[in-house]
Amino acid sequence: MNPHEEISVEELKARLDAGEKPLIIDVREPEEVAYGMIPGAVHIPMGQIPQRLDEIPREGEVIFVCRSSHRSGQVCEYLTMIGFEKPVNMVGGMLAWTQLP
């Protein structure tokens, strides 16, 4: 089992459609986000996470997304290890998000 929580693309979309505004951080590289991001997401490339920890709330839910959920899962593991309360990995990443009806 993962040491962090996960959310499906369907669940996240339903929450956004219901008017919720969770903090979503996209950890893809700039050339990847050029193809589109989840509305309202903040862009912090994975390699910049350690230097930009002050931009990420330590308490409460923060949802992380990347292309396929591998990198965002690594970010969630790292943040959990250093004491962040609730990093959440979006399963399937943007590949799954773009397949939503």
Which residues are known catalytic residues?
Answer: 66
The span from the CA of 14 to the CA of 47, in Å, is: 30
**Distances from the Cα of 85 to the Cαs of 33, 61, 69, 76, 90, in angstroms?**
26, 7, 19, 10, 16
